[in-house]
A and B are shown apart, each in its own frame.
Chain A
Amino acid sequence: MSDVQLAHLYLALSAILLTIGIIGVLIRRNLLVVLMSLELMFNASNLAFVGFGRLHGGPDASALVLFVIVMAAIEAAVGLAIVVALFRASGLAKLDEINLLRG
Protein backbone atom coordinates (compact mmCIF):
# COMPACT_ATOMS: atom_id res chain seq x y z
CA MET A 1 0.00 0.00 0.00
CA SER A 2 1.82 3.04 -1.22
CA ASP A 3 1.13 6.63 -0.25
CA VAL A 4 -0.18 7.37 -3.74
CA GLN A 5 -2.83 4.65 -3.44
CA LEU A 6 -3.78 5.94 0.00
CA ALA A 7 -4.13 9.45 -1.43
CA HIS A 8 -6.45 8.02 -4.12
CA LEU A 9 -8.60 6.39 -1.43
CA TYR A 10 -8.78 9.64 0.55
CA LEU A 11 -9.72 11.55 -2.61
CA ALA A 12 -12.49 9.07 -3.47
CA LEU A 13 -13.89 9.17 0.07
CA SER A 14 -13.74 12.97 0.01
CA ALA A 15 -15.66 13.02 -3.30
CA ILE A 16 -18.40 10.76 -1.91
CA LEU A 17 -18.72 12.79 1.30
CA LEU A 18 -18.90 16.06 -0.67
CA THR A 19 -21.68 14.59 -2.83
CA ILE A 20 -23.63 13.49 0.24
CA GLY A 21 -23.33 17.03 1.61
CA ILE A 22 -24.50 18.55 -1.67
CA ILE A 23 -27.48 16.17 -1.79
CA GLY A 24 -28.35 17.24 1.76
CA VAL A 25 -28.26 20.92 0.84
CA LEU A 26 -30.32 20.35 -2.30
CA ILE A 27 -33.14 18.10 -1.09
CA ARG A 28 -33.60 18.94 2.60
CA ARG A 29 -35.86 21.78 3.73
CA ASN A 30 -34.84 21.93 7.38
CA LEU A 31 -32.37 24.77 7.96
CA LEU A 32 -30.44 22.90 10.66
CA VAL A 33 -29.93 19.84 8.47
CA VAL A 34 -28.74 22.08 5.63
CA LEU A 35 -26.13 23.60 7.96
CA MET A 36 -25.04 20.11 9.06
CA SER A 37 -24.64 19.13 5.39
CA LEU A 38 -22.40 22.19 4.96
CA GLU A 39 -20.22 20.84 7.78
CA LEU A 40 -20.02 17.52 5.92
CA MET A 41 -18.73 19.35 2.85
CA PHE A 42 -16.07 21.16 4.91
CA ASN A 43 -14.94 17.77 6.21
CA ALA A 44 -14.76 16.40 2.67
CA SER A 45 -12.36 19.19 1.71
CA ASN A 46 -10.31 18.49 4.83
CA LEU A 47 -10.05 14.81 3.92
CA ALA A 48 -8.72 15.71 0.47
CA PHE A 49 -6.18 18.09 2.04
CA VAL A 50 -4.99 15.40 4.46
CA GLY A 51 -4.67 12.85 1.66
CA PHE A 52 -2.49 15.18 -0.41
CA GLY A 53 -0.53 16.22 2.67
CA ARG A 54 0.21 12.58 3.44
CA LEU A 55 1.54 12.22 -0.09
CA HIS A 56 3.75 15.30 -0.17
CA GLY A 57 4.81 15.46 3.45
CA GLY A 58 5.50 18.70 5.26
CA PRO A 59 3.15 20.81 7.38
CA ASP A 60 1.36 22.87 4.69
CA ALA A 61 -1.72 20.66 4.38
CA SER A 62 -2.10 20.49 8.16
CA ALA A 63 -1.94 24.29 8.40
CA LEU A 64 -4.62 24.64 5.71
CA VAL A 65 -6.84 22.05 7.42
CA LEU A 66 -6.46 23.98 10.67
CA PHE A 67 -7.67 27.17 8.95
CA VAL A 68 -10.60 25.32 7.34
CA ILE A 69 -11.64 23.94 10.76
CA VAL A 70 -11.61 27.47 12.21
CA MET A 71 -13.62 28.70 9.21
CA ALA A 72 -16.17 25.90 9.65
CA ALA A 73 -16.58 26.74 13.34
CA ILE A 74 -17.18 30.43 12.46
CA GLU A 75 -19.68 29.40 9.78
CA ALA A 76 -21.56 27.17 12.21
CA ALA A 77 -21.73 29.88 14.89
CA VAL A 78 -22.94 32.64 12.54
CA GLY A 79 -25.33 30.32 10.68
CA LEU A 80 -26.92 29.03 13.87
CA ALA A 81 -27.26 32.59 15.21
CA ILE A 82 -29.09 33.53 12.01
CA VAL A 83 -31.35 30.45 12.37
CA VAL A 84 -32.22 31.39 15.97
CA ALA A 85 -32.90 35.03 15.04
CA LEU A 86 -35.05 33.92 12.10
CA PHE A 87 -37.00 31.46 14.24
CA ARG A 88 -37.63 34.14 16.88
CA ALA A 89 -38.79 36.63 14.28
CA SER A 90 -41.03 34.36 12.22
CA GLY A 91 -41.32 30.98 13.92
CA LEU A 92 -40.23 29.27 10.75
CA ALA A 93 -37.48 26.68 10.32
CA LYS A 94 -38.15 25.52 6.79
CA LEU A 95 -36.32 27.00 3.85
CA ASP A 96 -39.22 27.19 1.41
CA GLU A 97 -41.40 29.10 3.87
CA ILE A 98 -38.83 31.83 4.39
CA ASN A 99 -39.51 34.07 1.45
CA LEU A 100 -39.75 37.59 2.88
CA LEU A 101 -36.84 39.94 3.42
CA ARG A 102 -38.59 41.89 6.15
CA GLY A 103 -41.94 40.65 7.24
Chain B
Amino acid sequence: MNLTVFYLLAAAVLVGGLGVVLSANPVTSAVFLLVSLLGVAGLFAFAGSGFLAVTQVLIYIGAVVTLFTFVVMLLCLRDGDLTETQLRSQKISSLLLAALLLGNLLAVAAFWGGSNRLAPSTSLPTMESLAAAVFGRFSLAFELMSILLLVAIVGVIALAQREKLE
Protein backbone atom coordinates (compact mmCIF):
# COMPACT_ATOMS: atom_id res chain seq x y z
CA MET B 1 0.00 0.00 0.00
CA ASN B 2 1.93 2.99 -1.23
CA LEU B 3 0.49 6.26 0.02
CA THR B 4 2.48 8.36 -2.45
CA VAL B 5 0.39 6.87 -5.26
CA PHE B 6 -2.78 7.83 -3.42
CA TYR B 7 -1.64 11.42 -2.90
CA LEU B 8 -0.58 11.78 -6.54
CA LEU B 9 -3.98 10.51 -7.74
CA ALA B 10 -5.80 12.71 -5.22
CA ALA B 11 -3.82 15.72 -6.44
CA ALA B 12 -4.83 14.91 -10.03
CA VAL B 13 -8.49 14.68 -8.96
CA LEU B 14 -8.40 17.99 -7.07
CA VAL B 15 -6.40 19.91 -9.71
CA GLY B 16 -8.81 18.63 -12.37
CA GLY B 17 -11.82 19.62 -10.31
CA LEU B 18 -10.50 23.12 -9.61
CA GLY B 19 -9.61 23.48 -13.29
CA VAL B 20 -13.18 22.62 -14.31
CA VAL B 21 -14.59 25.30 -12.03
CA LEU B 22 -11.98 28.03 -12.61
CA SER B 23 -11.19 27.92 -16.34
CA ALA B 24 -13.11 30.38 -18.48
CA ASN B 25 -13.28 28.27 -21.65
CA PRO B 26 -15.59 25.20 -21.64
CA VAL B 27 -13.09 23.25 -23.78
CA THR B 28 -10.41 23.73 -21.11
CA SER B 29 -12.98 22.70 -18.52
CA ALA B 30 -13.64 19.48 -20.45
CA VAL B 31 -9.91 18.66 -20.54
CA PHE B 32 -9.61 19.29 -16.80
CA LEU B 33 -12.70 17.10 -16.27
CA LEU B 34 -10.86 14.34 -18.13
CA VAL B 35 -7.85 14.69 -15.80
CA SER B 36 -10.11 14.54 -12.76
CA LEU B 37 -12.02 11.48 -13.99
CA LEU B 38 -8.77 9.68 -14.83
CA GLY B 39 -7.60 10.35 -11.28
CA VAL B 40 -10.84 8.91 -9.91
CA ALA B 41 -10.37 5.82 -12.11
CA GLY B 42 -6.87 5.44 -10.67
CA LEU B 43 -8.28 5.71 -7.15
CA PHE B 44 -10.82 2.98 -7.95
CA ALA B 45 -7.94 0.75 -9.06
CA PHE B 46 -5.97 1.76 -5.94
CA ALA B 47 -8.84 0.58 -3.75
CA GLY B 48 -8.82 -2.77 -5.51
CA SER B 49 -11.84 -2.34 -7.79
CA GLY B 50 -10.20 -2.85 -11.17
CA PHE B 51 -13.52 -3.43 -12.91
CA LEU B 52 -14.85 -0.07 -11.73
CA ALA B 53 -11.69 1.65 -12.97
CA VAL B 54 -12.18 0.14 -16.44
CA THR B 55 -15.88 1.08 -16.39
CA GLN B 56 -14.99 4.62 -15.36
CA VAL B 57 -12.55 4.98 -18.26
CA LEU B 58 -14.98 3.42 -20.77
CA ILE B 59 -18.16 5.27 -19.79
CA TYR B 60 -16.94 8.55 -18.35
CA ILE B 61 -13.89 9.27 -20.46
CA GLY B 62 -15.02 7.37 -23.54
CA ALA B 63 -18.61 8.58 -23.59
CA VAL B 64 -19.41 11.46 -21.24
CA VAL B 65 -16.34 13.66 -21.82
CA THR B 66 -16.57 13.01 -25.58
CA LEU B 67 -20.22 14.07 -25.46
CA PHE B 68 -19.31 17.25 -23.59
CA THR B 69 -16.59 18.09 -26.14
CA PHE B 70 -19.00 17.47 -29.02
CA VAL B 71 -21.64 19.74 -27.52
CA VAL B 72 -19.10 22.51 -26.80
CA MET B 73 -18.09 22.46 -30.45
CA LEU B 74 -21.70 22.11 -31.67
CA LEU B 75 -22.83 25.21 -29.83
CA CYS B 76 -20.11 27.39 -31.44
CA LEU B 77 -20.08 29.88 -28.58
CA ARG B 78 -19.03 33.43 -29.37
CA ASP B 79 -16.53 35.37 -27.31
CA GLY B 80 -19.31 37.22 -25.55
CA ASP B 81 -20.74 33.95 -24.25
CA LEU B 82 -17.58 33.19 -22.30
CA THR B 83 -17.55 36.30 -20.13
CA GLU B 84 -19.62 35.83 -17.03
CA THR B 85 -21.01 38.58 -14.88
CA GLN B 86 -21.17 37.63 -11.26
CA LEU B 87 -22.59 39.47 -8.33
CA ARG B 88 -19.94 39.96 -5.67
CA SER B 89 -22.33 39.22 -2.82
CA GLN B 90 -23.54 36.07 -4.55
CA LYS B 91 -19.98 34.84 -5.01
CA ILE B 92 -19.05 35.52 -1.40
CA SER B 93 -22.17 33.85 0.00
CA SER B 94 -21.64 30.82 -2.28
CA LEU B 95 -18.05 30.41 -1.10
CA LEU B 96 -19.12 30.85 2.52
CA LEU B 97 -21.80 28.18 2.16
CA ALA B 98 -19.35 25.83 0.46
CA ALA B 99 -16.73 26.39 3.18
CA LEU B 100 -19.33 25.61 5.84
CA LEU B 101 -20.32 22.40 4.08
CA LEU B 102 -16.69 21.41 3.58
CA GLY B 103 -15.98 21.93 7.28
CA ASN B 104 -18.95 19.76 8.20
CA LEU B 105 -18.03 16.97 5.80
CA LEU B 106 -14.35 17.00 6.80
CA ALA B 107 -15.33 16.82 10.48
CA VAL B 108 -17.47 13.78 9.68
CA ALA B 109 -14.61 12.23 7.70
CA ALA B 110 -12.13 12.90 10.52
CA PHE B 111 -14.18 11.75 13.49
CA TRP B 112 -16.11 8.90 11.92
CA GLY B 113 -14.92 5.79 13.71
CA GLY B 114 -16.02 3.09 11.32
CA SER B 115 -19.18 1.15 12.02
CA ASN B 116 -18.87 -2.15 13.82
CA ARG B 117 -22.17 -3.57 12.70
CA LEU B 118 -20.72 -4.86 9.46
CA ALA B 119 -17.82 -7.18 10.04
CA PRO B 120 -14.80 -5.87 8.13
CA SER B 121 -13.57 -8.35 5.60
CA THR B 122 -10.38 -8.24 3.65
CA SER B 123 -11.81 -9.99 0.59
CA LEU B 124 -11.79 -7.73 -2.43
CA PRO B 125 -14.85 -7.80 -4.70
CA THR B 126 -14.33 -10.21 -7.53
CA MET B 127 -16.08 -10.12 -10.88
CA GLU B 128 -18.10 -13.20 -9.90
CA SER B 129 -19.39 -11.70 -6.66
CA LEU B 130 -20.16 -8.39 -8.37
CA ALA B 131 -22.15 -10.14 -11.11
CA ALA B 132 -23.98 -12.24 -8.50
CA ALA B 133 -24.89 -9.06 -6.60
CA VAL B 134 -25.98 -7.04 -9.65
CA PHE B 135 -28.07 -9.83 -11.19
CA GLY B 136 -29.16 -11.30 -7.86
CA ARG B 137 -29.94 -9.05 -4.91
CA PHE B 138 -29.88 -5.84 -6.98
CA SER B 139 -31.81 -7.30 -9.93
CA LEU B 140 -34.80 -4.98 -9.36
CA ALA B 141 -32.51 -1.94 -9.40
CA PHE B 142 -30.84 -3.33 -12.52
CA GLU B 143 -34.18 -3.68 -14.34
CA LEU B 144 -35.29 -0.21 -13.23
CA MET B 145 -31.98 1.18 -14.50
CA SER B 146 -32.52 -0.40 -17.91
CA ILE B 147 -36.03 1.09 -18.10
CA LEU B 148 -34.55 4.47 -17.12
CA LEU B 149 -31.96 4.15 -19.90
CA LEU B 150 -34.74 3.38 -22.40
CA VAL B 151 -36.79 6.39 -21.25
CA ALA B 152 -33.70 8.60 -21.48
CA ILE B 153 -32.97 7.42 -25.04
CA VAL B 154 -36.54 8.13 -26.14
CA GLY B 155 -36.50 11.50 -24.36
CA VAL B 156 -33.22 12.61 -25.91
CA ILE B 157 -34.42 11.65 -29.41
CA ALA B 158 -37.69 13.54 -28.84
CA LEU B 159 -35.74 16.61 -27.64
CA ALA B 160 -33.42 16.49 -30.65
CA GLN B 161 -36.25 16.19 -33.16
CA ARG B 162 -38.67 18.67 -31.67
CA GLU B 163 -38.73 20.89 -34.75
CA LYS B 164 -39.66 17.97 -36.97
CA LEU B 165 -42.43 16.81 -34.66
CA GLU B 166 -44.15 20.17 -34.46
Contacts and interface: CB of A to CB of B under 8 A. Distances in A.
Given A6-B1, A33-B26, A58-B129, 15 more contacts: A9-B10, A15-B109, A17-B13, A19-B98, A20-B18, A30-B26, A32-B29, A36-B30, A46-B52, A50-B44, A58-B123, A77-B67, A83-B71, A84-B160, A88-B163
Given A32-B72, A62-B49, A73-B63, A8 B109 contact: yes
Interface string B83-100: 011100011001101110
A32 B147 CA distance: 26
Contact of B64 (A32, A39, A96): A39
Interface string B106-118: 1011101010001
Interface of A: 1, 3-4, 6-24, 26-30, 32-33, 35-37, 39-40, 43, 46-47, 50-51, 53-63, 65-67, 69-74, 76-78, 80-85, 87-88, 93-94, 96
A16 B68 contact: no
A50 to B, nearest CB: 5
Interface of A is mostly: helix
Contact of B152 (A20, A22, A37, A77): A77
Interface of B: 1, 3, 6, 10, 13-14, 17-18, 20-21, 26, 29-30, 33, 36-37, 40, 43-44, 47-49, 51-52, 55-56, 59-60, 63-64, 67-68, 71-72, 74-75, 77, 81-82, 84-86, 90-91, 94-95, 97-99, 101-102, 105-106, 108-110, 112, 114, 118, 120-126, 129-130, 132-134, 138, 141-142, 145, 148-149, 152, 155-156, 159-160, 162-163
